Amino acid sequence: MSNKVALTGHEILANAMRQINPDVVAAYPITPQTELVQLFSQFVADGKVDTDFVTVESEHSAMSATVGASAGGARAMTATAANGLGLMWEVVYIAASTRLPIVMPVVNRALSGPINIHCDHSDSMGARDSGWIQLYAEDAQEAYDNALQAIRIGEHEDVRLPVMVNMDGFIISHAVENAELLADKDVKEFIGDYNPDHSLLDPENQITVGPVDLQDFYFEHKRQQIDAMENAKDVIADVAQEYKEMTGRGVEYFEEYKLDDAEIGILALGSTAGTAKVAVDQLREQGVKAGLLKLRVFRPFPSEELVEALKHLDVLAVMDRAETFSTTGGPVFADVRSAFYDAKSDVEVVNYVYGLGGRDTRVEDVVSVYEDLQEITASGKVDNRVNYLGVRE
């Protein structure tokens, strides 16, 4: 039994947290995540969950308390955005390397400076090497679906890694959408109980968490994290399949939109994928063979599967809502291009950095990217490998 609602992204995600009913949530408010935690704290105050809600004085403490709770064997969550994630930084790495399956919604927002509260992916992309699994959502429904699946993925015994559930700030978090919420009992059944292998609160089996780990063993522990990420690929696919059987919704690593016979394509993640779908539809009406690949899972990176889905294209544009300042393009572009290199593919791959700091990206902007791709196909040459879409010249 599911329940159709019209709510904001935050309300929908807060309901996911209510249904998950974590043992501990420690959080600090930061725009645009504030409302999410506030709504959840109302559920705590109203007795709708039996979560221990820890109010802390910073995001560093929020992640620290969440790590402590998780090491104690609790199902623990927090949420953050932008500079909040920045302030959590060192503990974000500790959560992953200690193999704690924390689930954290990240309401994506530009990192200062200059100070900006609007959406881009500089926060989560900045944390791409921290060892967290990263899921991205096109809309609030997917953010909800990802949050529930994240619990299963992170806690799987072959994985035991934390998961970021990314949702575009304001664009998804503050807009009202239709969504289908599962029945509380179905969520409970789907996520099951959390049974950690070890707990700091087990006096019969005393352990030390977070000891010094120098040149003797640190490398081995990093190697284990890589193994867990490799395992996560299968687990993500299995959990997605199971979720799909239950709800009819969901994809494993990415969604292919009109990609089968496409000649030119865009790869995007987050809410822009929705905008791109409209652009694809418009172009298809004009007979242009345009397609879209919407990436759901950025860490682990589904390299082989991506190439397989895209290798028949003439030209692919990778959309990046973050910069790396490498001067060679954005973070998603780097990974996609590297995947194509291995495949010895002759697909031209170009990069569009767009939407920084909440710069609006409209359907016509995406259409202009497809037009560029048509030109590349026609001329057979790439003038600009990396492009800045929507910046004033």
Partner 1 sequence: MTAKKDAQKPGWKDVPEGGLILESGNATEYKTGGWRTHRPELDKDQCINCHRCWVYCPDSAIVSEDEEVTGFDHDYCKGCGICAHECPVDAISMIKEEPSTEE
We find the least distance from the C-beta atom of residue 200 to partner 1, in angstroms, to be: 10
- Using the minimum distance from each CB to partner 1, give the nearer residue, 47 or 211: 211
Bond into 113 cis (ω within 30): yes
x-marked contacts with partner 1 along 105-144 as a string, rule CB under 8 A: ----------------------------------------
- Using the minimum distance from each CB to partner 1, give the nearer residue, 197 or 383: 197
- Position 195 contacts partner 1 (CB under 8 A): no
DSSP state, residue 20: H
The residue whose two tokens read 């995600």 is: 13
Size, binding site for partner 1 by CB under 8 A: 23
362 token code pair: 């409209």
We find the least distance from the C-beta atom of residue 86 to partner 1, in angstroms, to be: 24
Query: Residue 292 in contact with residue 280, Cβ under 8 Å?
Result: yes
Q: Which of 57, 220, 245, 261 binds partner 1 (CB under 8 A)?
A: 220
- Using the minimum distance from each CB to partner 1, give the nearer residue, 88 or 228: 228
- Position 206 contacts partner 1 (CB under 8 A): yes
**In angstroms, rounded to a whole number, what is the distance separating the alpha carbons of residues 38 and 214?**
40
What torsion, rounded to 10 degrees, do the Cα atoms 147, 153, 159, 164 define? -20
Instruction: Give the range of 80-88, 214-222, 261-269, 361-369 binding partner 1 by CB under 8 A.
Output: 214-222
Instruction: Give the range of 8-16, 132-140, 198-206, 283-291 binding partner 1 by CB under 8 A.
Output: 198-206
Q: Which of 198, 311, 362, 385 binds partner 1 (CB under 8 A)?
A: 198
56 token code pair: 């802390």
74 token code pair: 């609790």
Instruction: Give the range of 13-21, 111-119, 211-219, 301-309 binding partner 1 by CB under 8 A.
Output: 211-219
DSSP code string of 24-65: EEEE---TTTHHHHHHHHHHHHTTSS--EEEE-SSHHHHHHH
- Position 185 contacts partner 1 (CB under 8 A): no
- Position 217 contacts partner 1 (CB under 8 A): yes
- Position 327 contacts partner 1 (CB under 8 A): no
Main-chain phi, psi angles of 390, to 5 degrees: 90, 5
- Position 230 contacts partner 1 (CB under 8 A): no
Query: Residue 120 in contact with residue 357, Cβ under 8 Å?
Result: yes
**In angstroms, rounded to a whole number, what is the distance separating the alpha carbons of residues 52 and 171?**
30
Instruction: Give the range of 111-119, 140-148, 204-212, 330-338 binding partner 1 by CB under 8 A.
Output: 204-212
We find the least distance from the C-beta atom of residue 71 to partner 1, in angstroms, to be: 9
Query: Residue 333 in contact with residue 368, Cβ under 8 Å?
Result: no
- Using the minimum distance from each CB to partner 1, give the nearer residue, 97 or 374: 97
**In angstroms, rounded to a whole number, what is the distance separating the alpha carbons of residues 203 and 151?**
26
- Position 204 contacts partner 1 (CB under 8 A): no
Q: Which of 19, 97, 108, 166 binds partner 1 (CB under 8 A)?
A: 97
Which residues neighbour 55 within 8 Å (Cβ) at sequence distance 6 or greater? 26, 27, 28
We find the least distance from the C-beta atom of residue 299 to partner 1, in angstroms, to be: 18
Nearest to 350 by CA among 310, 313, 385: 385
DSSP code string of 270-281: TTHHHHHHHHHH
| List of residues contacting partner 1 (CB under 8 A) | 97-100, 160, 197-198, 205-211, 213, 216-217, 219-221, 223-224, 227
